[in-house]
Amino acid sequence: MNYQTNLSEISEKVKNFGVIKKENWLDQEDIKKTKLIIEKINCAKGNNDGVFYLNLKFKIIDLFKLKFEKIAYEKYFVNLSKKLGLKKIADQIFDFPAKLHRVDCYSNPISNAPVLDWHVDNAYSGQKVVDKFLNPENSAIKYTPYWSLSDFRKTILIKKNFNYIKSNLKKEDIDDFLSYSEFIEKGNSDNKKYDLPVKCGGAIIFNEGGVHRGSKLLKTNRLALRFFFMRDKKF
């Protein structure tokens, strides 16, 4: 199987639209091995057992703690990333050399509650102390701590912020975002219009700076494997 087909198309769609879904990316052998690893680790999202930081410091720590199994898992995931051509995709999205800086995996049980409701990753959730650093008197924007989609909308709608954003983006794009996300103010966070269901072996490639969520798991549990890329600072 040629894993690295249409990589440029994937990158272009993420750059233009923020997200793309790719089904049937893993073959059955990789699906089986990945599932075995995630099921064996058996941890919730954010649990350190399922996090691989991919730097020398943490590799030495794992080595001193005799975590040879975790080291082997890390090697497998890094090799899987290379097989899929993920760095090439990230390079093209950034228009700059990229670096895989973290891998994590976790499992979520069946539940009637969202895994994580609509939110923005790049925020200072509840950290009000940052206000004095980000709101000097001559600042072009006014910062309010946000994390949820609702809080993000309120931050955009502050007059000072709205005028600043409007000077850098098309007003119709801002209006579209506010219109498309209005459902959250009507108590309808379970809006399925923007859901992207993906089958086992498929993937969602997206810019985590966009608004996203983990939807309800009503039928099966979810096993997730994530690769995080950043610009390579050595260039």
Question: What is the Cα–Cα distance from 13 to 228, expressed in whole angstroms?
Answer: 18
- Are 87 and 98 in contact by the 8 Å Cβ rule? The answer is yes
Q: Dihedral, CA atoms, 148, 153, 156, 159, nearest 10 degrees?
A: -130
Question: What is the Cα–Cα distance from 125 to 144, expressed in whole angstroms?
Answer: 9
pLDDT band at 102 (very low <50, low <70, confident <90, very high): very high
Question: What is the Cα–Cα distance from 126 to 181, expressed in whole angstroms?
Answer: 21
What would the mean pLDDT of 203-213 be, rounded to a whole number? 88
Look at residue 133 in the predicted model and tell me its pLDDT: 44
Domains of the chain by range and CATH? Answer: 7-111+198-209+216-231 (3.10.129), 117-186 (no CATH)
First to last CA, the chain: 33
Average pLDDT of every residue of the chain:
86
Question: What is the Cα–Cα distance from 51 to 196, expressed in whole angstroms?
Answer: 24
What would the mean pLDDT of 67-85 be, rounded to a whole number? 96
Using a pLDDT cut of 90, give the percent of the chain over it.
Answer: 51
Look at residue 195 in the predicted model and tell me its pLDDT: 84
Q: Give the contacts of 223 (CB within 8 A, at least 6 positions apart).
A: 34, 35, 38, 39, 105, 106, 107
Q: Which two tokens stand for residue 83?
A: 């097989």
Q: For 154-198, how does the pLDDT look when each residue is reduced to its tens digit (9 = 90+)?
A: 888 989 889 989 999 999 999 999 999 999 888 777 778 888 888
Look at residue 143 in the predicted model and tell me its pLDDT: 62
Q: Which two tokens stand for residue 157?
A: 């709608």
Look at residue 118 in the predicted model and tell me its pLDDT: 86
Which segments of 65-197 does DSSP mark as H helices, in order? Answer: 68-84, 86-94, 131-134, 149-157, 159-166, 171-180
Polymer length in residues for the chain: 235
